[in-house]
Amino acid sequence: MLELNGITAGYDRRAPVFRGARLTLAPGESVGLLGPSGCGKSTLARVAALLHRPDAGRYVLDGTEIRAWRHRAPRELRTAVGVVFQQPRTAADPRLTLADLIAEPLRATGRGAEAAARVADLAPTVGLTPELLSRRPHAVSDGQLQRACLARALSLRPRWLICDEMTAMLDASTTAALVAAVETYRAGTGAGLLAVGHDRVLLERWCDRTVEWKDCLTGGDER
């Protein structure tokens, strides 16, 4: 279970972006979070990814209450949630080749020995050719880079995947390919998905259910 309850978060304690948001995901469930731009849904996604410490509220991930965020959070919890960000350009270290980019989480967690095999395994599932893997971010398109970012998020086989407007910058065919890659991964592992976006048609077709941002704030998430 991924349970966010009464979350208040923002970038200034006196003026939080939102107050008291709640959202619950059952294991293996895919939920689309819909909302207008600037409402705070990305911030909630960052809280769920343990990247942003909320000002108040309770977050329980697979039975463990989260009390520390970012580097302070235990590594097992951090890596249990994979994140794909909206803008692949800023989410990729410009110095790393795509292969290194995908392998980075494995190397960072001391599993560098598996990296080559895992990259070779993941690249075709997200549609990256070996030639593309040797390029750096500036030499590939946004879509290709986002494919690599998705592969990076999947490299540690997370139990949860958070896609924050993953396809907002991309064309329809790349969107379809990325969604298909996520679904293939989920079918194989049973991972849960939180897809944040403003594209209602896409999220309704992609996810088991969709939640309106305003319902998150008023406690309407109960089924």
Which residue type, as a one-letter code, is found at position 158?
Answer: P
Token pair in block for residue 20 = 């008291």
Cα 46 to the chain's mean position, in Å?
A: 9
Nearest distance from residue 73's CB to another protein, in Å?
A: 8
> With left for phi above 0 and alpha for psi between -120 and 50, is residue 161 left, alpha or beta?
beta
Rounded least distance, CB 156 to another protein, Å? 7
- Provide, rounded to whole angstroms, the least separation between the CB of residue 214 and another protein: 26
Spatial CB neighbours of 22, under 8 Å, sequence gap ≥ 6: 4, 5, 6, 7, 216, 219, 221
Binding residues for another protein, per CB under 8 A? 46, 49-51, 70-71, 75, 78-79, 81-83, 85, 87, 90-93, 95, 104-105, 108-109, 149, 152-153, 155-156
Q: Which is nearer to another protein, 92 or 133 (CB)?
A: 92
Nearer CB in complex with another protein: 90/173: 90
DSSP state of 139: G
Beta-strand relationship, 2-9 and 18-25: antiparallel
Q: Which is nearer to another protein, 101 or 123 (CB)?
A: 101
* Distance of closest approach, residue 71 Cβ to another protein, in angstroms: 5
